[in-house]
Amino acid sequence: MKADRLRGHLDALVLAVLDGGPRHGYAIAEALSARSGGAVTMPTGTLYPALRRLERAGYLRSEWATVAGRKRRTYWITDAGSRFLAAERADWRDFSAVIEGVLGTG
Beta-sheet pairing, 60-67 with 23-24: unpaired
Q: Which distant-in-sequence residues (6+ apart) come within 8 Å of 51 by Cβ?
A: 14, 25, 28, 60, 62, 75
Q: Sketch the domain layout of the chain as residue ranges.
A: 3-103
pLDDT computed for residue 44 by the predictor: 87
Going residue by residue through the chain (106 aa), what tens digit of pLDDT does each one get? 656 677 788 999 999 999 999 999 999 999 999 999 999 988 888 899 999 999 999 999 999 988 788 899 999 999 999 999 999 999 999 999 999 999 987 6
DSSP state for residue 38 in the 8-state scheme? T
Top-level CATH class of 3-103?
mainly alpha
Q: Backbone phi, then psi, for 56, in 5-degree steps?
A: -60, -35
